[in-house]
Each structure stands twice: as structure tokens, then as C-alpha cells.
Structure 1
Amino acid sequence: MALAPTIQLLAALSAVAALLVLAVAGAVLARGPLGRPVVYGGALAVTLLAAVSALTAIPAPTGGLVLPLGIPWIGANLRLDALSAVFLVVVNLGGAAASLYGLGYGRHDHAPERVLPFFPAFLAGMNLVPLAADAYTFLLAWEFMSLASWALVISHDKEAGNVQAGLVYILMASFGTLALMLAFGLLAAGGGGFTFEAMRAAPPTGWAGAIVLVLALLGAGSKAGLVPLHVWLPLAHPAAPSHVSALMSGVMTKVAVYGFIRIVFDLAGPPDWWWGIPVIVAGAIAGVVGVLQALLQSDTKRVLAFSTIENIGLIFVGLGLALAFKASGFGGAAALAFTAALFHVFNHAAMKSLLFFGAGAVLTATGSRVMDRLGGLIHRMPVTSVVMLIGAAAISALPPLNGFASEWLVFQAILLSPELPAWGLKLSVPAAGALLALAAALAAACFVRLYGIVFLGRPRSEQAANAHEVDAFSRAAMIALAAICVAAGLFPGLVIDALQPAVTALIGVKMPAQSEVAWLSIVPVAESRSSYNGLLVFLFIASSALLTAFIIHRLATGAVRRAPPWDCGFPNADPVTQYSAGSFAQPIRRVFARTLFAARERVEMPPPGSLAPARIEITARDPAWAFLFLPLAGLVERIATRANRLQYLTIRQYLALVFGALVLLLLVLALWT
């Protein structure tokens, strides 16, 4: 039986308070032997309880609370509804897995005093954002989450590039907060109140609603990693400790998705027909650009960071479709698209956290994140190799795992787009579907490359040859997430049904109950159109594999033949002759990256008789850096240099400047009123 809403809300707030207490304990106990078990063990217990409480709150009615904090005449408004509960489940399941992983991984941290205080604070901020029910509390929690994660990004500040990563991250976070602040300002202008309830009662109309959509896309998109606001993500994720990277990529980006949903679907009022177009286009571009960038990387954590951009793009395509269908009066299709987006939010949190944990395990065992220094780890790290294979297959959208189920739902929604009346949507949605299909194929190639180079073949370095399996806590966290990936893929109908209270609250319509379909199949539209059964697919794959193994081992010859592997005509047994990460990606790089990323190859071949080594140099650039952020940084620097002259004005000049500013403000006020 579900708990009363006020009790569930108090439980969520108690979890936030407990995490803040653990942050203080982390600052006090960081250097002692109790720091790691107290902080990570306490965070594990708190987040597990919070996840269970939030799970019971999804089908329950809403509950609210006002605390005497924040703005005096408003207070801190807190509310727990179905949408908040869904994202609290995602946040706390990810937090629990990261805490369990941290119990083992944290013992290798050489500066625990820089991590332990901010880890539970980061979790507290992410828990507080979905509970906020007024603009001030929301922005305060948002900034607290950003600052705590920034402290974790620069925790290893002595490593090359980490300080720059932190600087870029905090600048982009500040930009996102500014955009959200402006969006809330426009939302509050209609009803004159900063509470979400007042904003719902008087949503913006006309151009104000359009500006709110754009600001929400900029503010939440910068935190989620939408192109071209993604530049912080491939810098910050590798800089942070691996369990923090998992939280930032798998969980924090979903809090950003929550912010977008809360503003656009809940507070901004009924959408216009065209609202879905910029969201769909931004998501489709992010999907393709993210996975192409991932294919160019040789650092395992940078590969995973760029892969996050691709998956965030898929989520935003689903949200854009939901906006388009809702505005056009197709409630069932809107419910399908919105469910697909929420389902992929949950799935990506599990898949990407698992993959970052695996990358952290490889880093712990070998001391390297560079793929070309690894290899052969499947024999040295058997548990990690199996769970990483599950994670790689899931994020490549291979059935019967969870990544396939949610991506399949998105494509089912895309197939309904011909019913949309507007020609802009009729043209943009199929184009986005084609880009997502391309992204899905490239994602499979990306993770075949990642898994094959890191775990298969022969060790490419002494560190890889001497690697060993990681601790039991890290293995347990990875196994738990791999189990979630398998379970959500085999029984997707149960997850889809659990999401329907949130879908109903924002769309007004829900999908048919999938748990009532025979054989645990899912039928998103109608049986005449399509259906999917993850359990039957799994049974077919398992039975086919077992039958093949039986035929080979029982009916084939029992003779054993051993021979060296095929060497392509080059009898050099050196491991460096194996396929490298760069050579695997070369065909894709030459086809796509020459135009998009200005990728170039420069080969230096010494003449015959020379002892100089042959060299190949590959360069590529991020267009967002080259054409947006670098020129913008130069403009800011020039303006700051000229503004520096204001420090040397006389008293008369200062008074004249203040007088002119006052006259200008009065003029703006007069025109505004």
C-alpha cells in the first residue's frame, strides 16, 4: 500500500537532509579510516531507501509542503508528484550504485578530502531539484548541484586538463542557470507569482511561450549536453572520478531532462504545433554528432561521454515528438513518444553508469584510459568483461536488452508521424528518424570498437598484461546494473506501466496497460502494426546458442587442432600489429568526419635506408569550439579589456556614467509600462 503523499515527501526531504549530514561527515572524516565507509555506506543506505519511497510515490496523488526558507513572502515550496517520483527513482538508483562502487573504488583515491564531502552533497542537490515547486528553490537546488559536481570535476586538479575542464563546466553551468532564470521570469510574469502553481494558472501566450521554450532548451540543454552546448561534457566526465562520471553522465543529465519537461510540458501551457520541431532537430543533430565524435576518441571515458550526447539526443527527439503529437491532438501517439523518452531516461542511467564503472575498473587495473594501451582483458578481468559486454550491447540497442526496447518505442512513435497535419512536422520527423537510424548503426560500431580493442586480442602494454579483477564492491555495483539492463529488456511492459502516472499527468492520456498483453509482449499502438516480446527473443537466442553448441560438441569431430591465428601475411607476433582504435574508426572517419569535424590525416614516411620512424598524425576539430565558443571567448576578452578602462575614470566621469545609466533605466521603465 502506498504511503501518504506527505509522508513520502517528508521521506524525500529526510534523504536530502541525511545526505547533507554525510557531506559534513565526509569533510570531518575524509583523512581517517572511517571516511570512505561512513560516506559511501551511508549514501548507499539513504539512496536505496529514497528510491523505494519514490517508487511507491509514482502512482500516488501529489503532496506539497512549504518551508519558511528562501524568499520571505513565498518560502520554499516543495512538491512530490508522479514526474518528480520517476526522476527520484532514477537519481537514487544511480546514486546507490555509485555509492556501492565507491566503497571499493574510493580506496584508490589519493585525495579523499576533495571527493568525500562533495559526493553526498551532489546527490542531495540532484534529489532536491525534482522536489522544488517554485523558481527560487528550483534554481537554488540546480546551482547547488552544479557547484558540488564542479568541485568533484576539479578534485584531481594536478592532472593535466582538469582545471580547464572545471572552468568550461562552470561557465556552461552558469549560462544554463541564466537561461532558466530568464525562463522562470517570463513564466512568472503572467500570474505574478514565482510558485509553479501560480505559473500553471497563468501560462505565457504568444511570443512569450516561444521564448520560454527556447530558454528551456538552452538552459536544460546545456546541462544535458545538447549540441552545440555539449562542449563541457567530454572534458568534465573524464576529469571526474569514475563513479562521479557515472553520476554526471547517467544521472545529472537526466535531472536536466527533468528541468526541460517540468518547464515545457507542465508550466508553459498548451504547446503550439511547431514547438516540437526545434526539439526534434536539436535531438537528431546531437544523436549523430555525439556518436561520430565518440568514434574519433581513443580515451575510454571520452568515448562514453560523447555517447551520452547521442543518447540525450534520442531522449529529446522523443520529447519533441510528444510535443508535436500533443499540440496536434494525437493523445495516444503523444503518450507513446513521452513514454519512450522516459523509458530511455531510465535505461540510459543504468547503461551509462555501468559502462563508466567498467571504464573505472579498467583504469584501476591498468592505470590507463587509452584504448591502444589495453587489450586482452577478457582473460584477466572476467567479471568486468561480461558486464561491460552487457552494457555495450544494451547501449548499442541490441535485443533483448533494455536499450533496444526504449529505442524501438521511439521509432514506433516516428512511424506515426505521417498522421501529423503540419508539413513542417511531416518533413522534419522522418529526417530525424533517418538520422537516428544512422546514429544507432554508428553506436553499434562504436561499442564493437570499444569492447574489442579493450577486452579482446592480446595485451598492448605490460600494464594490460598484468591486470587483475577489481574489488568485490565494484563488481557488485556493475553486476546490479547489468541485471537491471537485462530485466528491463526482458520485461519492458512492467517499466512502461510504471511510467504511466507521469505520462497521464502531463499528456492527459496514457498508453494501454502492457502487463495485460499475453506472453509479456508490448504492443505500443496495435497488434496489426507492431509488437515486441523481449522474453521470447531471449529464449530464442539462448535456445539457438545452446543448440549450436550441442551440435558442435556432440555431432562434430572430436579432434582438436591448434594453429596460430591468421596474421594477414605478416608473421610479426608483436601485439602492436593488431587493429588499433584509430584503424578501426578510419573508414568512418574518412566518410563522415572530413566534412563535419575537418578530420585530416598527415603521413610521414621516411625514405628507404632512413632510421626515422614513420608517423601518422590525425587531427580533428569540434565545430562548436571553432565557430561558436572560441570567437565568443575572444569577443568577451576584447570587451573586458576595453571595460578595464573604467577603473581609471575621474570622479566627474563616474558621476556622469551613473547619471546616464539612471536616465537609461528610467527611459526603459517608461517604455515598458
Structure 2
Amino acid sequence: MTVPILILVALAAVGVAARRAPWISAAVYGGTGVVCGAAVLAAVLALAGRAPPQELLLPMGVPWIGLHLRLDALSAFFLLVVNFGGVTASLFGWGYERAHHGGHDAPPGPVLPLFPLFLAGMNLVLVAGDAFGFLVGWEAMSLASWLLVLSTHREPETPRAARLYLIMASFGAACLLLAFGLLAGPTGDYSFAAIRAHVPDDAEVALVVLLVLLGAGSKAGLVPLHVWLPLAHPAAPSHVSALMSGVMTKVAIYAMVRILFDLLGEPAWWWGGVMMAAGAVTAVMGVLYALMQDDVKRLLACSTIENIGAVVIALGLALVFKASHTPVIAALALSAGLLHVVNHSLFKTLLFYVAGAVLTATGTRDLNRLGGLIHRMPETAVLALVGASAISALPPLNGFVGEWLLFQAILNAPALPEWSLKIAIAVVGAAVALATALAAACFVRFYGTAFLGRPRSAEAGGAGEVGPAMRAGMAVPAVLCILLGVLPTPLLRLFEPAVRLMVEAGPFDDRAYQPWLWLSPTSAIGNSYNGLIMLVVIGLLSVLLVAAIHRRASDKLRRSIAWGCGFETPDPEGVAQYGASSFAQPIRRAFGGTVFHARDRVDMPEPGDLRPARLSVSWTDPAWALVFTPIGRTVDWLTQRVNGLQYMTIRRYLTLMFAALVLVLIVVAVTQR
């Protein structure tokens, strides 16, 4: 797997060297797509062939240790997810860049040299066999994505988003560095094989779990470490946003799985309890954040927070069941998490591509300025409906299968011996159900406001369908959202080796795959799901419903002006329609008043005043008020105090250095006892 990484880096270098050439955009995006496609094929063969782990030692990296590269089933699974996202993003990005930079003969934008480098960094994280290679890939991924966010630096919000992202990325990398230091122990051997052999004490284990949740959780978007995500993901170009939201967050999930399931040894039940609590809060808060947003890309970014919460809940369940020595149910929970990783990478990249297509056609991301796009962008509207239905967990699409498997794992909580865990998992299940219902409301709001009704602006009224490359980039994940919802079992079988490797047992009993069209996660006589039957039943019921409506309805056609909401003349601009803010108002009042301090302010003119009434909505993220604002004030206070050090005399500097030396010697003397 070193070849794709090297080729991606070479493509980035070519993009820098020939950046002004009009053909270079097609060359770099096309080459990146081919390389990622080859990596997808290699990952599928590695998983399907049940091949043993492959290792390679390169003479670089840390002295006397080298750079270890390792491909096992878990790495192959995440390589499949990352590089498939790279294939579709390359296809969509080629069309997107042509549309935004003037067509065939225009020079490419600043994204071009960084795009393959971003994918190379993610690939390096996944195949790293030691902490050094892991962190080098992690930093390459973070820095490349930071520069990609800065590629839209002319937008007013981009500098703040990029600055906050860089701070959070540095914080996450520092936490992971400390975690690997504790895992390696005093020997300083950072290879994963040596880390597995080292047994840390209980205090070190607790600290590593905390550092992993902080380090990888800040990249994934766990609450309250999510604050950068709604700003940075929308700031990047749409195909980069799709990779950051649908793919890069999965690299953070890989870090959690690799360390907590593999490197840290036998788990304790409280690891999973902490993860379930963090995931439940993240899932509910993430979807509430999304419901508050009027910006399409920011809404999708906040929705990613909710989906990451669901994945973390599944991982927490798997750790709890693994610690309780119920490996079959642990495998079920981990399978649900990994399936949701695939599903989210598909429908979230699809929806970000849809957002990019809408932005290309209309020039705006504001839901309150869209509407009626189903008539002007019919193909994009159909693909958007597939993505919105999948992320809302509607059968027979792939989002439903992932949520269904997660609930199957939750319903197996009575197999645990501790009553406290049984009750806690029931509460977590209620949180997942609430988040799922709110997600459906969120995407009814998204699709209804953007694609249905009448245009709310001239830009929406003049929109047209995007180019074939962008439509193809959207169509590929849309087809897979349907296919994996109807036939999920082959995918579950494909990543079975990764599940078996992490829980050290077969994921299901033999009856679970008889016949292969049925999905019976724990027993063929228990709960089961058949996506094909579900599809046929839904199709037949839809046909019968349409036939009944047409049979009983009047065949006379009457055309009239649209209802003017009480006015004698119709509303020409569609502003009297339900908008994004008005759609979210009931949920905002039910949840936002307490959680977000949301306030609605109506400016109603006096009778006789012809000014229109105005509704303004204000709300605050509690993470800023409770966590980051106090931290910022503390840092400011400390910097003001430390700032005085630069004005000291030579004598005081020497005294300070002598005191520091004495302190270091005391610490060394104490630790050597």
C-alpha cells in the first residue's frame, strides 16, 4: 500500500509544478481517482481473500526502529472507505472545479496540489504499523485539510474557521502523542507490536482512554470538541467538505478502534460506558445543532456530529459486551458501528455533493433563498432525495440497516450481568431513537425547503442542472445507498475479518447467513431483516396507493394561482412560504430554549406601517459558554502574566534558569528512587 501513497504525493507535486496548465486539473483528479480505485480493489481483495496481515519495514522514521507499515483486516476496511470516497470526490471535484473556474481552458484553483496529499495522509494513518508513521500521517492529513479550508480565504468566515481548526487539530495530535507515549512505556519502542506487548497499569490505562477520546474525538467531532467542525467543513470546497465530513472523521474512528480494541489490551466495561455516554450526548446535540442551521453545508456538517455519535455508541456497546465476555453480541455491536461508518461515508458525501451542485447552480447556501429546485434540477433532486432518505434511516436504504443493527445490539443488553449497564444502555437506546426521529425532521426540512415549493430568490428561480461529471459523482454513492440497503449481508461478510480481529470471535453464528438474503444478526429464529422483500413491499404499496388515488380522484384539470396566504394577489417571490427558520420553530422552542438559549424576536410594524414584519433568531452553542470561553479567558490571563518575562534583566534570567535546573534535578532524584 505504499505505492498509492507515493503516487498521490507525486500527483500533488505535479499539481504544484504545472499548476497553470489547463490540462493539469483533469490529470491530477483523474490520476487520483485511478489510484484510489486501485486501492479500493486491493482492500476488497485483502478482505475477501482473508489474507494474513502484511508487514513492511522501511529504513526511515525513528532511528533504530524504522517505519513500520502493516495491512490487516481493519486497515483494509478503512482503506476501502477512504479510497472509495477519494474516487467519487475526484470525479465530482473535476466537474466542480471546471464549473467554478471557467471551464476547460481555465487554470485550476489552489485545491489541486493539496487534494491528493490529503488522501495520502489518510492512507498513511491507516497502514502505519508504529506510532511515528501514524502521527506523521495524522499531521499530513490535518495540515493538508487545513490548507484546503484556507483555499476559500476570501470568504469572510474562512480565516476564523481555519484558525480554530488548526488549534483543535494541534490539540488532538498532542493528545494522541501523549497516549502513544504512555502505551510505549519506558522502552520507547513505538511499533504497534511492542505496544501490544507492554502492559500499562490502571492509571495509565485510564489516562490513555481519556487522551484517545480527546485526541481522536476532537477530529471526529465529539461534543464538546465539535466547535471547529460546523465552521471548517462548510468553508472548504464541496468535494473537500465531503471528504472531511464523510471520510476524514472515519480516520478518527479508526484511531479509536485501533487503540481501544487492539493496542490497549483487554477492555474494562467502563471504557464502553464512557464512550456510550459521550456518543449519546453527541448524537442528540448534533442533530439539534443541525436543526438550528439555515446554511446547507453547515447543516450537513452538524449532522455529521450526530452520526459520529451513533458510531461511538456502537463502539462503546462493543467494548462493554467484549469486557463482559459475550463476543457474539460484541461483534454485532461492532458490525453495526462499522456498517454505519460505510453508510455515513456514502450518504454524507452524496449530500455534500448535492450541496455543491446547489451552490454551483444558485450561488447560495442559504435555505431561506432556495426552493423549487426539483423543477430546475430534477436529476439532482432525485439524488438528494435518496441521500436525505438514507440519512433519515428510512427503509429500504442503507441508513436503516445500520440503525436496525445498532438497535439489535441495544436490545441484547439483558445479556449483561450488571443492572447498572442494562439501565444505562436502555437510556442510550432512547437517546438514539430521539436522535433518529429528529434527523428525519431535519432532512424533511432540508429537502422540503430547498427542492419543493416555489423559488424564494431570483438565483433559485434561474438555476439549472449541473454538468455530467458532478451528476455522476452524486449518482455512484446514491446507487450504493440503495444497493447496500437492499443487500447488506455481502458487505457484512466482507468486513467480517475486521470484526473477528477486534473482538477475537466470529461475529455471528452460522445460522445468521442462511439464506444470504436474510440478515439475522444473532439467530435465524430471532429478529431478521430482508431488504429485498422490504423494497418489493414498499414498491407494491406505492403502486396501489397511486392507482387508488387516480381511480377515485377527479380527472378534470384546473389551473389557478397559488394561495396568497390571505392576500388577494399571490406572493410573487414565495416569501410567504414556510422557510427553514419557521419549519424549525417548534423544535427550537421545545429544545433550544433550554439547551441553546434560543430566542425568537419578531419586529412587527404598527398598523398602517408598510414595512414587512421580520423574524430574527438567536442562539448560542453551550460548548462555547461552558468550555471554550473560560479556557480562552484563562489563556489570556496567563499570557498577560507570562508576558512580563521578556522584560527581565540578565540577573533575573540567570536566576530563573538556575531555579529551573534545580527543579529538574529534584524531579530526577525523586523519580530514580
DSSP 3-state at the match of 2:601: strand
Q: 1:274 to 1:191 in 2, by over 3 A?
A: farther
- Given that residues 86 and 502 in structure 1 are in contact (C-alpha distance below 8 angstroms), is that contact kept between their aligned partners in structure 2? yes
Whole-angstrom distance in 1 between the partners of 2:11 and 2:188: 38
* 1:545-565 residue CA offsets vs partner (Å, 9 max, x unmatched): 223334444676543344445
Listed as ranges, the matches of 1:348-367 within 5 Å are 348-367=344-363
Question: Which residue pairs with 1:625 in the alignment?
Answer: 624
DSSP 3-state at the match of 1:78: strand
> Which of 520, 525, 544 matches 1:523?
520
Whole-angstrom distance in 2 between the partners of 1:216 and 1:487: 34
Q: Once the 2 structures are TM-superposed, how far is the Cα of residue 203 of structure 1 from its aligned partner? A: 3.0
- Is 2:317 the counterpart of 1:321? yes
Question: Which residue pairs with 2:536 in the alignment?
Answer: 539
> Which of 463, 470, 474 matches 2:466?
470
- Given that residues 319 and 337 in structure 1 are in contact (C-alpha distance below 8 angstroms), is that contact kept between their aligned partners in structure 2? yes
- Tell me whether 106-115 or 445-454 shows the greater mean CA deviation: 106-115
Whole-angstrom distance in 2 between the partners of 1:535 and 1:568: 44
- Tell me whether 185-194 or 555-564 shows the greater mean CA deviation: 555-564
Q: 1:597 to 1:514 in 2, by over 3 A?
A: farther
Q: Once the 2 structures are TM-superposed, how far is the Cα of residue 152 of structure 1 from its aligned partner? A: 0.2
Whole-angstrom distance in 2 between the partners of 1:143 and 1:127: 12
Question: Which residue pairs with 2:104 in the alignment?
Answer: none
- Given that residues 23 and 119 in structure 1 are in contact (C-alpha distance below 8 angstroms), is that contact kept between their aligned partners in structure 2? yes
- Given that residues 354 and 388 in structure 1 are in contact (C-alpha distance below 8 angstroms), is that contact kept between their aligned partners in structure 2? yes
- Is 2:53 the counterpart of 1:62? yes
Question: Which residue pairs with 1:33 in the alignment?
Answer: 22
- Tell me whether 188-197 or 397-406 shows the greater mean CA deviation: 188-197
Where does structure 2 lack aligned partners over 5 or more consecutive residues?
102-106
Q: Once the 2 structures are TM-superposed, how far is the Cα of residue 273 of structure 1 from its aligned partner? A: 1.7
- Is 2:586 the counterpart of 1:587? yes
Which amino acid is 1:98 matched to? A
- Is 2:375 the counterpart of 1:379? yes
Listed as ranges, the matches of 1:280-295 within 5 Å are 280-295=276-291
- Given that residues 22 and 108 in structure 2 are in contact (C-alpha distance below 8 angstroms), is that contact kept between their aligned partners in structure 1? no
Q: Once the 2 structures are TM-superposed, how far is the Cα of residue 526 of structure 1 from its aligned partner? A: 1.9
Question: Which residue pairs with 1:232 in the alignment?
Answer: 228
Listed as ranges, the matches of 1:498-513 within 5 Å are 498-512=494-508
Whole-angstrom distance in 2 between the partners of 1:177 and 1:192: 18
Whole-angstrom distance in 1 between the partners of 2:187 and 2:478: 47
- Given that residues 347 and 403 in structure 1 are in contact (C-alpha distance below 8 angstroms), is that contact kept between their aligned partners in structure 2? yes
Whole-angstrom distance in 2 between the partners of 1:564 and 1:530: 51
- Is 2:96 the counterpart of 1:105? yes
DSSP 3-state at the match of 2:454: coil
Whole-angstrom distance in 2 between the partners of 1:568 and 1:325: 56
Whole-angstrom distance in 1 between the partners of 2:520 and 2:657: 67
Q: Once the 2 structures are TM-superposed, how far is the Cα of residue 221 of structure 1 from its aligned partner? A: 0.2
Whole-angstrom distance in 1 between the partners of 2:359 and 2:406: 34
Whole-angstrom distance in 2 between the partners of 1:113 and 1:76: 34
Whole-angstrom distance in 2 between the partners of 1:669 and 1:268: 28
Q: Once the 2 structures are TM-superposed, how far is the Cα of residue 584 of structure 1 from its aligned partner? A: 0.2
- Is 2:41 the counterpart of 1:52? yes
Which amino acid is 1:548 matched to? L
Question: Which residue pairs with 2:167 in the alignment?
Answer: 171
Whole-angstrom distance in 1 between the partners of 2:297 and 2:500: 37
Listed as ranges, the matches of 1:572-611 within 5 Å are 572-574=569-571, 575-611=574-610
- Is 2:66 the counterpart of 1:75? yes
Listed as ranges, the matches of 1:48-447 within 5 Å are 48-58=37-47, 59-110=50-101, 112-189=108-185, 192-447=188-443
Which amino acid is 1:166 matched to? A
DSSP 3-state at the match of 1:156: coil
Q: Once the 2 structures are TM-superposed, how far is the Cα of residue 192 of structure 1 from its aligned partner? A: 4.3
Where does structure 1 lack aligned partners over 5 or more consecutive residues?
1-11
- Is 2:670 the counterpart of 1:671? yes
Q: Once the 2 structures are TM-superposed, how far is the Cα of residue 641 of structure 1 from its aligned partner? A: 1.9
Whole-angstrom distance in 2 between the partners of 1:571 and 1:277: 60
Q: Once the 2 structures are TM-superposed, how far is the Cα of residue 543 of structure 1 from its aligned partner? A: 1.6
Q: Once the 2 structures are TM-superposed, how far is the Cα of residue 324 of structure 1 from its aligned partner? A: 0.2
TM-score by length of 2: 0.96
Which amino acid is 2:658 matched to? F
- Tell me whether 406-415 or 111-120 shows the greater mean CA deviation: 111-120
Which amino acid is 1:165 matched to? A
- Given that residues 70 and 136 in structure 1 are in contact (C-alpha distance below 8 angstroms), is that contact kept between their aligned partners in structure 2? yes
Q: Once the 2 structures are TM-superposed, how far is the Cα of residue 92 of structure 1 from its aligned partner? A: 0.3
Q: Once the 2 structures are TM-superposed, how far is the Cα of residue 612 of structure 1 from its aligned partner? A: 4.2
Whole-angstrom distance in 2 between the partners of 1:108 and 1:637: 44
Which amino acid is 2:9 matched to? L
Q: Once the 2 structures are TM-superposed, how far is the Cα of residue 660 of structure 1 from its aligned partner? A: 1.1
Whole-angstrom distance in 2 between the partners of 1:358 and 1:541: 25
Q: Once the 2 structures are TM-superposed, how far is the Cα of residue 638 of structure 1 from its aligned partner? A: 1.8
Whole-angstrom distance in 2 between the partners of 1:202 and 1:572: 77
Q: 1:387 to 1:147 in 2, by over 3 A?
A: same
- Given that residues 563 and 570 in structure 2 are in contact (C-alpha distance below 8 angstroms), is that contact kept between their aligned partners in structure 1? no
Q: Once the 2 structures are TM-superposed, how far is the Cα of residue 113 of structure 1 from its aligned partner? A: 4.2
Q: Once the 2 structures are TM-superposed, how far is the Cα of residue 649 of structure 1 from its aligned partner? A: 1.4
- Given that residues 511 and 524 in structure 2 are in contact (C-alpha distance below 8 angstroms), is that contact kept between their aligned partners in structure 1? no
Listed as ranges, the matches of 1:5-20 within 5 Å are 12-20=1-9
Q: Once the 2 structures are TM-superposed, how far is the Cα of residue 331 of structure 1 from its aligned partner? A: 0.6
* 1:51-75 residue CA offsets vs partner (Å, 9 max, x unmatched): 1111111221101011111111111
- Given that residues 190 and 199 in structure 1 are in contact (C-alpha distance below 8 angstroms), is that contact kept between their aligned partners in structure 2? no
Which amino acid is 2:589 matched to? R
* 1:592-619 residue CA offsets vs partner (Å, 9 max, x unmatched): 0111111011222222233444322211
Whole-angstrom distance in 2 between the partners of 1:334 and 1:552: 47
Whole-angstrom distance in 1 between the partners of 2:188 and 2:13: 38
DSSP 3-state at the match of 2:129: coil
* 1:191-237 residue CA offsets vs partner (Å, 9 max, x unmatched): 64211000111232312111111111110000000000000100001
Q: 1:191 to 1:493 in 2, by over 3 A?
A: farther
- Given that residues 181 and 188 in structure 2 are in contact (C-alpha distance below 8 angstroms), is that contact kept between their aligned partners in structure 1? no
DSSP 3-state at the match of 2:51: coil
- Given that residues 275 and 324 in structure 1 are in contact (C-alpha distance below 8 angstroms), is that contact kept between their aligned partners in structure 2? yes
- Given that residues 376 and 464 in structure 1 are in contact (C-alpha distance below 8 angstroms), is that contact kept between their aligned partners in structure 2? yes
Whole-angstrom distance in 2 between the partners of 1:450 and 1:572: 28
Question: Which residue pairs with 1:8 in the alignment?
Answer: none
- Given that residues 136 and 194 in structure 1 are in contact (C-alpha distance below 8 angstroms), is that contact kept between their aligned partners in structure 2? yes
Question: Which residue pairs with 1:661 in the alignment?
Answer: 660
- Given that residues 331 and 508 in structure 1 are in contact (C-alpha distance below 8 angstroms), is that contact kept between their aligned partners in structure 2? yes
* 1:477-526 residue CA offsets vs partner (Å, 9 max, x unmatched): 10001011011101011111111100111101122358832360100112
